A and B are shown apart, each in its own frame.
Chain A
Amino acid sequence: MTKAGTAMAAPRTPAPAVRLPRRRGIELALIVLAVLLSVYGYCAVGLARTGTVPPGAVGYGAGLGVLALCAHLAVRIRAPYADPLPLPIGVLLNGLGLVLIYRLDLETPGDRAAPTQLVWSTLGVGLFIVVVLMLRDHRVLQRYSYVCVVAALALLLLPILFPAVNGARIWIRIAGFSIQPGEFAKVLLAVFFAAYLADNRNALAYTGRRLWVMQFPTGRVLGPIVTIWLLSVGVLVLERDLGTSLLFFGLFVVLLYIATGRTGWIAVGLVLAVLGAFAVGHFEPHVNGRIEDWLHPFATIDAGLGPNQLAQSLFAFAAGGVLGTGLGYGHSILIGFATKSDFILATAGEELGLAGLAAIFLLYALLVERGYRAGLALREPFGRLLAVGLASIVALQVFVIAGGVTGLIPLTGMAMPFLAQGGSSVVTNWAIVALLIRVSDSARSQYDGREAP
């Protein structure tokens, strides 16, 4: 193995056949654009609400700009071939999230979330810089895969020791900050899944019975997927966190399919998911209520109890129409609880309209696509699975929460990446972007003009 590896690496030591452009200038230009757009949004909120440019506009723009520039410099130094898009997308989404939270803060003068979110964003960008500077090669992570899974499980179990907040045991409160350890666990689990599947993919692809068009795995290799399934159900039951549970399981099934190419895994995954959903939906009134709300969002209105959160969210989206009311002119605060976190997208939908919402969805899609592209360009399975896994976390998370607040699927509490209030989420997403930068840098600097198999 080692011998083979050295032999493989030897021809790459000279310059690759086709040297790709670095594209750092494009990244810088896009970052400047992202910062300007965010500052514009901040000013638009102030102009709409008070008729003046908010006093903090310069500071806000300067702060965001300095953070983004530091991140850009780190990329320039340590990952010169990295994909130029993920960083500007992260800056724009984070900036827009701050604008939306600042805008909602104006409705709740007693509860300001934007300053805290700015602190967390700074920490997030800080982590981004650390990861880009310190992690020279993503393959290092493969060695620590079992450390990662132990850490992830510890983080997941930690909140069980703390009192429940809003019906879910997913937060811990330390020194006034509430932390959601499950968020960090996502990245660690993605690393573990990628490493584990890269090592065992041939074994897992062992073909069993063939049924119709699908080849089903034999019972022997069902162990890992059942373990992950049990872990997900455990998270759901112990922490009442349907979203995280869905995300872990979905991520594992996606990576399992990519690693083995066996559609049978998808079928097994779906069966297990349905089983789990049915059992939990049956025994957990909390989850069952979510499904009822999804099927009948206006049931509480008919019952004379007034609109529930989902109904208010739908009202907010509807009020936005195609073009939106304009920043600062909406009334998404009517949603009440969790307007700034789980339901942040409703504010975007109401004030920026379908046009703005589509733009936000496309930004996420672009981020995910860049991750998949890096995965396609890479040569080794761990890097590929890691890139695709990280991108899939973003995709699944966006789908689960955006689908939930727009009534497409039952609502599960989950943070909209970068947009929603929630420190752990922002920091985690910056870590994801940092890893994507690192992986894409490897992919593009090693590019030899041939397409990977």
Chain B
Amino acid sequence: MTEYGNGRPMARYIRHAWAFCTLLLAALLVNAARVQVIQAGSYDANPANRRPTIARYQQPRGDILVGGEPVTGSNDTGEQLRYERTYRDGPLYAPVTGFASQMYGSTFLEHAQDGVLSGTDPMLSPFPLWNDVTRGSTPGGDVVTTLDGVAQQAAYQGLHGRRGAVAAIEPATGRILALVSTPSYDPAALSGNSEATAAAWARLNHDPEKPMLNRAVRQTYPPGSTFKVVTAAAALDADVVTDLDASTDSPDPYRLPGTRTRLTNEGDGCADASLREAFEWSCNTVFAKLGVDVGVADMSATAQAFGFNDTRLRVPFEVSPSTFDTHVDRAQLALSSIGQYNTRATPLQMAMVAAAVANGGRLRTPYLVERTTRHGGETISGGGMRPDRQVMRPSTAVRLRELMTDVVTDGTGTNAAIPGAVVGGKTGTAQHGVGNSGVPYAWFVSWAQADADLEPKVAVAVVVEDASADRGEISGGGDAAPIAREVMRAVLGL
């Protein structure tokens, strides 16, 4: 045996072993490429992967602005999910901002504008694909709202914690000036990811008062007598009524067509009343008959022009569709025409009704986001005014304004009068529950034009759910109109 190994060419086997090692290395490289390049997308998107969540809270969220001032903020917790949302006047603006929670997602503007606020919107980066190349992150942008802080405050204080909601719009533009829902909650309680957050979430969800329900846009109510504005518009547009002061040839009580049910009124003097009188004193019999006379087709067309049955309205968050049933018999149509049966409306929808009347029959689609900006304030999208549509003839709008003004000057809505302004309104007291046993909803819809202005500057809808424990004293004029008045005064500056 020699040192050289007896003719066994060991070098050859060493090379074989080296080839084997090379094979192992190649397998590692190919597999690394599989994980890091080919499968990377699906791994990154795996819901159990916490990285997107960490990245999301790695920088302060952009702010939501009201009147140029942020109503939101961010707090550096130093934890893995670093920045937590804070709110100034949280309960006041909760129906607008919603919450941005590390545990429970986000709602309303926080949700609808999340791309801008979190900084992921591609519009925010200076050049296309900039962040993909630099692996940087863009600071969150700001969302400038159309809200009028003073009007919002007035509405919130007016509701005074009762269950209810207020929506106010600028008729000429569709800008939403106030959007309030009470009782409210502080969205800051849901921002974090601690046990306290989970406790707050459980408490808010189990609260019978439903503080997280945004009653202004997500709750529909029977609009009751306030829907008579729509019925009157349909009657005037269809030429069922041509003279506001002519008798309408309507019996009191009114027997619903095809039934034995007799519809009555709260007060007297509704038999054969003129449209003006019937509107002023809110005669159910007159408007039920008018609706039947107009017919399902025209009533539906007018209601839908005002925005009923529209499932696509976004302001930019979703608004629950208000409903006007288009498959009804004549008795159901009669009830639908006085805001009962299947007719339901959100407060925002009823504000749109008042706004269309105030704006000469043209309805601007409401919106809440004036513009979005980069962190520095540079505008990235105007958002702004939406298209408008003709809801009724301009002449009809003029006559409806006259009718609504009469309600405030000497009808059921005198509580809404403002010195130095022309105010038009309509009260409503909607019954609900089995056999109308529930506490009625008090409604008031109105618009106002200061004497110095060329056009109405504000349209409001107010609903108060538990206006009073005593049914006898409940009314749109008594409970809802004063709130509407304060909101309108705040907007007009009177």
B31 contacts the other chain (Cβ, under 8 Å)?
yes
A453 pairs with B5, CB closer than 8 A: yes
- The 8 A CB mask of A304-324 against B (1 = contact, 0 = none) is 001100010011011111110
B69 contacts the other chain (Cβ, under 8 Å)?
no
Instruction: Identify A258's interface contact among B17, B40, B48, CB under 8 A.
Output: B17
Chain A residues within 8 Å of B2, by CB: 4
Within 8 A of B (CB), among A304-362: 306-307, 311, 314-315, 317-323, 325-326, 329, 331, 334, 349, 353-354, 357-358, 361
A261 pairs with B13, CB closer than 8 A: yes
Nearest CB in chain B: distance from A91 CB, A: 21
Within 8 A of B (CB), among A370-396: 372, 375-376, 379-381, 384, 388, 391-392, 395-396
Nearest CB in chain A: distance from B33 CB, A: 6
* Known contacts A261-B10, A319-B44; A403 and B28 CB within 8 A of each other: yes
Chain A residues within 8 Å of B35, by CB: 314, 317-318, 349, 406-407
- In the assembled complex, the Cα of A381 lies from the Cα of B44 at a distance in Å of 51
Specify the main secondary structure of chain B where it touches its partner: helix
What range describes how many residues of A lie at the interface?
A: 35 or more
Nearest CB in chain A: distance from B129 CB, A: 14
B127 contacts the other chain (Cβ, under 8 Å)?
no
A354 pairs with B32, CB closer than 8 A: yes
- In the assembled complex, the Cα of A379 lies from the Cα of B3 at a distance in Å of 7
* Known contacts A354-B37, A376-B11; A311 and B48 CB within 8 A of each other: yes
- In the assembled complex, the Cα of A398 lies from the Cα of B21 at a distance in Å of 10
- The 8 A CB mask of B21-65 against A (1 = contact, 0 = none) is 110110111011101110111011011111100100000000000
- In the assembled complex, the Cα of A334 lies from the Cα of B55 at a distance in Å of 13
Instruction: Identify B36's interface contact among A357, A368, A391, CB under 8 A.
Output: A357
B36 pairs with A317, CB closer than 8 A: yes
B44 pairs with A318, CB closer than 8 A: yes
A306 pairs with B48, CB closer than 8 A: yes
Within 8 A of A (CB), among B197-223: none
Closest B residue to A453 by beta carbon equals: B9
Chain B residues within 8 Å of A301, by CB: 46-48
B31 pairs with A407, CB closer than 8 A: yes
Closest B residue to A326 by beta carbon equals: B135
- In the assembled complex, the Cα of A322 lies from the Cα of B41 at a distance in Å of 12
A453 pairs with B10, CB closer than 8 A: yes
Instruction: Identify A261's interface contact among B8, B20, B24, CB under 8 A.
Output: B8
Chain B residues within 8 Å of A116, by CB: none
**What count of chain B residues pass the 8 Å CB interface test?**
45
- The 8 A CB mask of B329-349 against A (1 = contact, 0 = none) is 000000000000000000000
A5 contacts the other chain (Cβ, under 8 Å)?
yes
Chain A residues within 8 Å of B39, by CB: 314, 318
Instruction: Identify B31's interface contact among A257, A334, A408, CB under 8 A.
Output: A408
Chain B residues within 8 Å of A321, by CB: 36-37, 40
Question: How many A-B pairs fall under 8 Å by CB?
Answer: 155
- In the assembled complex, the Cα of A201 lies from the Cα of B8 at a distance in Å of 10
Instruction: Identify B1's interface contact among A202, A353, A354, CB under 8 A.
Output: A202
B31 pairs with A372, CB closer than 8 A: no
A196 contacts the other chain (Cβ, under 8 Å)?
no
A261 pairs with B36, CB closer than 8 A: no
Closest B residue to A407 by beta carbon equals: B35
Closest A residue to B20 by beta carbon equals: A254
B4 pairs with A392, CB closer than 8 A: no
Chain B residues within 8 Å of A453, by CB: 4-5, 7, 9-11
B37 pairs with A322, CB closer than 8 A: yes
Q: Quick one: which of B9, B25, B135 has the most chain A CB within 10 A?
A: B25
- In the assembled complex, the Cα of A430 lies from the Cα of B135 at a distance in Å of 37
Chain A residues within 8 Å of B12, by CB: 261
- The 8 A CB mask of A239-264 against B (1 = contact, 0 = none) is 00000000000000010011111000
A358 pairs with B32, CB closer than 8 A: yes
Instruction: Identify A201's interface contact among B5, B27, B51, CB under 8 A.
Output: B5
* Known contacts A258-B10, A315-B51, A317-B36; A406 and B21 CB within 8 A of each other: no
Chain A positions within 8 Å of B, measured between CB atoms, are 1, 4-5, 8, 201-202, 205, 254, 257-261, 298, 301, 306-307, 311, 314-315, 317-323, 325-326, 329, 331, 334, 349, 353-354, 357-358, 361, 364-365, 368-369, 372, 375-376, 379-381, 384, 388, 391-392, 395-396, 398-399, 402-403, 406-408, 451-453
Chain B positions within 8 Å of A, measured between CB atoms, are 1-18, 20-22, 24-25, 27-29, 31-33, 35-37, 39-41, 43-44, 46-51, 54, 135
Sort A-B residue pairs by CB-CB distance and give the 6 closest, nearest first: A318-B43, A318-B40, A408-B31, A301-B48, A354-B36, A399-B24
- CB pairs A–B below 8 angstroms (22 shown): A201-B5, A202-B1, A254-B20, A258-B14, A258-B16, A258-B17, A259-B10, A301-B47, A306-B48, A315-B51, A318-B35, A318-B43, A319-B40, A329-B135, A331-B51, A354-B33, A361-B28, A381-B10, A388-B14, A395-B24, A396-B24, A407-B31
13 new A-B contacts at CB < 8 Å, known A258-B16, A399-B27 = A298-B46, A314-B39, A315-B43, A317-B40, A319-B44, A361-B25, A365-B22, A372-B14, A372-B18, A381-B10, A384-B14, A396-B24, A408-B31
